[in-house]
Chains A and B, each alone.
Chain A
Amino acid sequence: MNIFRLAGDMSHLVAILILLLKIWRSRSCAGISGKSQVLFALVFTTRYLDLFTSFISAYNTVMKVVFLALSYATVYLIYMRFRNSYDSENDTFRVEFLLVPVIGLSFLENYSFTPMEILWTFSIFLESVAIMPQLFMITKTGEAESITNHYLFFLGLYRALYIVNWVWRYHTEGFFDQIAVVSGVVQTIFYCDFFYLYVTRVLRGRGKMSLP
């Protein structure tokens, strides 16, 4: 474990908590893409199947349980608890356009052709595009509340910190996980446009920000 990966995991946790608490306290999920949250729950489900088969560390196990629980709680709030505030007219991204290529690629490009490895690869590729429905929804509604922007900022920051972690691990222990690195770079690139707008607008107190 290194400081970059720890900071990344904390940024990820903060992002998930920001969104969950926003929905819970405002008792509304307006402007939130339920599809993205379902995809994230699917990412954690397919990536953390080894939760019961391999023990890495207490931190690793605890964080997996926390991420699974919080992501399913978020999906529950959106589709069950506060479903009448769910904005289904604007959450119209065709997720099959993401799932089909990701499933195909995870069968083509993986470390070993075993169910666990293919599911892990699927989760890595899916995570890189899981935010698309949310970004699409923001372009459709024309703006995002500032709290949603903070969520996106920490979510994008988490994988950017993981990239630094991978550089660090490559130079200190020769660790190189090609699938995770390539996918993580693609994922972070999707946020670049948002990062620019976030820094130039949201941090200047503009509150609402609209993606082009």
Chain B
Amino acid sequence: GTDPNLKDEL
């Protein structure tokens, strides 16, 4: 899945 380290959520 997409990287949870990419913090794209608020």
Closest A residue to B8 by CB, please name it: A56
The contact sample of 11 A-B pairs, CB cut-off 8 A, is: A5-B9, A9-B10, A54-B7, A57-B8, A111-B5, A162-B9, A165-B9, A173-B1, A174-B1, A177-B9, A178-B4
B10 touches A67 (CB 8 A): yes
A180 touches B9 (CB 8 A): yes
In whole angstroms, what is the CA distance A64 to B7 when docked?
A: 12
Find the residue from A54, A111, A175, A180 having the highest chain B CB count within 10 A: A175
A88-121 interface (Cβ within 8 A of B): 111-112, 117, 120
Instruction: List, in ascending order, chain B residues with CB within 8 A of A178's CB.
Output: 4
A42-67 interface (Cβ within 8 A of B): 50, 54, 56-57, 60, 63-64, 67
- How many A-B pairs have beta carbons closer than 8 Å: the answer is 37
Q: A54-B7, A60-B10, A67-B10 are in contact. List 4 more A-B contacts (CB 8 A).
A: A57-B8, A63-B10, A111-B5, A179-B4
B interface majority secondary structure: loop
In whole angstroms, what is the CA distance A180 to B4 when docked?
A: 9
A173 touches B10 (CB 8 A): no
State which of A12, A174, A179 has its C-beta within 8 Å of the C-beta of B10. Answer: A12
- For residue A128, give the distance in angstroms from its CB to the closest CB of chain B: 15
A173 touches B2 (CB 8 A): yes
In whole angstroms, what is the CA distance A33 to B10 when docked?
A: 23
In whole angstroms, what is the CA distance A182 to B10 when docked?
A: 16
- For residue A172, give the distance in angstroms from its CB to the closest CB of chain B: 10
B4 touches A174 (CB 8 A): no
- For residue B7, give the distance in angstroms from its CB to the closest CB of chain A: 6
A114-136 interface (Cβ within 8 A of B): 117, 120
In whole angstroms, what is the CA distance A117 to B6 when docked?
A: 11
**A174-B1, A176-B1 given; A50·B9 CB < 8 A:** no
